Structure 1
């Protein structure tokens, strides 16, 4: 087993390090493992797994939610969010910095992509916050960190991928993501309030006061939030109320996003084509990685590496808590070199037998896994959100990483709280299905 594990890890690292597409790296690693350490022919297994991974009703929701996010990305949604939120936050400690957190949470609920959330919200908020004199480090930190919630708050593309690969209910996963998502948003806002109270308004750290707007003007600006709130509410209610499956809700979401974009006056033939092709490219990329991960999963099953690994770790007598600590450290290191979806698929290909043997609820573990993947989005050298922020601000990665460090530590606290109180994630999915 030691030789096989070593060959597998070295092969995967070499392929990934050489710049090979992640799907090809997974396929190549699986092919070598089967050819060298089993009697099963790799070709038929590859064909079977690619066919099996290429269809499925649940997987249909993936391109639909991606397309919905691409439409909203081009529809001026960020302008509406900033205009609607900012009048109500002027007297709150931290003031308009909260628009990064709340706006990211709202956009995450309709987009499902961390990078798209970061880019969309950041294009609007960062220039405005800089113009109003807010601390640039805190503006960067709140945006980069809160936008990672695009992976957790439903509808989440990563949760759909996890549900498909592990054969878990996507509706339950969506419900399980609500509690932790709200908890992390509250922790971010709480930290921002504490930071603001400690810093005060010295040197423009909390920005200029813009509280002179009348109540009627605030209501007029808030009206721009109504369509997006209706879209979020419609998707969530239809899924959790049993009126529609996630796939059906995604299709409705696409139609409603087109209506919103048209209503905003930012929808035409060019936007339709560009959003559609962007969604197709992203969905095909994810589907290709899923197929490669499926082949690697089969290869690991035929060579019995996961079962032997689970048995070896089981013999070490690690408690569930220590196992979780070890997995978190391992995932954070892997997350420095892999994007979120690839990390989810690679992990589920290798360690799910170990997780099941340790007695973790697979719905709970999916939420835990997504939170750790969120943390990797703001971890160098391959933290995708760091690159998005760098493109928006021109600042170096070290400066951006320092700005996100407090929020990274808050996510670690959130993982610990979820372990101590599993019902943070599990109450809704199981209470709604009683």
Structure 2
């Protein structure tokens, strides 16, 4: 059997195992281990050992538990509840203002956590009941929460970009900075769409009643401080890093300690909250480390087979495809896989193939990391099996049906496709900030 056929068989076996509900790291690592031992005998055991050593020596990986801990501290201490009250008061007089405020909430939650599931949980439990009670259209607000929660994997500190950095061997700091402008751009496009739609159809997002809008300025300013806290934590973490005063790992430690101190000062860091944060941090960190280890082993076997060179030769020489056509086909494959896989599974499955191919085609790997992330956001909301669709179904109240959830995402998917096209046509949207910071 040729090496190309072995590579195809490996890929097909892995997909089959994933479709039967196996754990991501077990499916990927198991196929890699069996292939390595079959091809190279006992010498194949060097591949997972080498991958483990590479993982343990990767210093930026220390940022992962730090940021996960920071996110859980801010979430479990109910600081997100304060944020929503702030947006409720300040944005209520605007048509669709609470929906716009929900997008703002999601951006801040993303900057606190780095995981989309956190934004979905906060949006579905805090914002959704309030929006429905205020007479907002249930389809629109369902789409708002799904779209807003997807920002968690793009706005730094994105955990997904940490994984991409490890697999693609790119600097985490550059990837995070590359995600700032696109993340804010996508959020701004969501807000613009909501505002225009609610201006044209006021019944979709009614303004608050006059009584509710009559809030003393002192109370408004007090609530505004709720938004200052997470922004202050984010600034305390990112400003020293951007200015070169601290390393990425040191900045992540500052963020974790600042969040912990804020929760203590607010009197919300109880023993139960602390235990929950530590347990969840350990569980999520270990899960990601197993996945990275499996992905590195799988990638090493693929490199040994020469599968990447074979695929590059197939696309560029045998089929004669333009590099941009190949890139678009890659993005389409993410959309297809996103209907039944989450972002981490997609990344570890295709990264061993796509990352070397993207580099061989002459594209910037930092820029491609942002393209991958935005495409993953779109895939999250694409029927029939988009990840966010089922998360929303699990968390939404009974009056929101699966049909409502499916019907809510079409305009937001169109907005994100437009954002993806802009990023592809104008790479500097993503690359300007890291080039400016690292070029100083």
Alignment TM-score > 0.5, same fold: yes
**1:335/1:377 contact within 8 Å kept:** yes
Deviation at 1:327, TM superposition (A): 0.8
In the alignment, which residue of structure 1 is the partner of 2:410? Answer: 405
Q: Would you say how many aligned residue pairs link Structure 1 and Structure 2?
A: 432
In the alignment, which residue of structure 2 is the partner of 1:156? Answer: 158
C-alpha distance in 2 between matches for 1:132 and 1:12: 47
**1:27/1:295 contact within 8 Å kept:** yes
TM-superposition CA deviations, 1:51-73 (whole Å, max 9, x none): 32234210010011011111111
C-alpha distance in 1 between matches for 2:373 and 2:33: 28
C-alpha distance in 2 between matches for 1:2 and 1:117: 41
Return the match for 1:347 from 343, 346, 350. Answer: 350
C-alpha distance in 1 between matches for 2:200 and 2:429: 30
In the alignment, which residue of structure 1 is the partner of 2:100? Answer: 98
**2:37/2:45 contact within 8 Å kept:** no
Write out the 4+ residue segments of structure 1 that deviate beyond 4 Å after TM superposition: 35-40
Return the match for 2:279 from 277, 301, 310. Answer: 277
In the alignment, which residue of structure 2 is the partner of 1:432? Answer: 437
CA RMSD in angstroms comes to 1.8
Give the unaligned 5+ runs of structure 2.
none
C-alpha distance in 1 between matches for 2:383 and 2:48: 33
C-alpha distance in 1 between matches for 2:279 and 2:390: 23
C-alpha distance in 2 between matches for 1:188 and 1:354: 32
TM-superposition CA deviations, 1:58-96 (whole Å, max 9, x none): 001001101111111101122111111222212333111
TM-superposition CA deviations, 1:220-252 (whole Å, max 9, x none): 221222211211111221221112222111111
Q: 1:332 to 1:419 in 2, by over 3 A?
A: same
In the alignment, which residue of structure 1 is the partner of 2:423? Answer: 418
In the alignment, which residue of structure 2 is the partner of 1:172? Answer: 174
Q: 1:230 to 1:57 in 2, by over 3 A?
A: same
Give the unaligned 5+ runs of structure 1.
none
Deviation at 1:7, TM superposition (A): 0.8
In the alignment, which residue of structure 2 is the partner of 1:363? Answer: 366
TM-superposition CA deviations, 1:94-147 (whole Å, max 9, x none): 111112101000110111000011112332111111121111111111111111
Deviation at 1:329, TM superposition (A): 0.9
C-alpha distance in 1 between matches for 2:303 and 2:411: 40
C-alpha distance in 1 between matches for 2:284 and 2:119: 15
In the alignment, which residue of structure 1 is the partner of 2:46? Answer: 44
Matched, 1:18 2:20: yes
Q: How does 1:73-152 map to 2 (within 5 A)?
A: 73-152=75-154
**2:338/2:379 contact within 8 Å kept:** yes
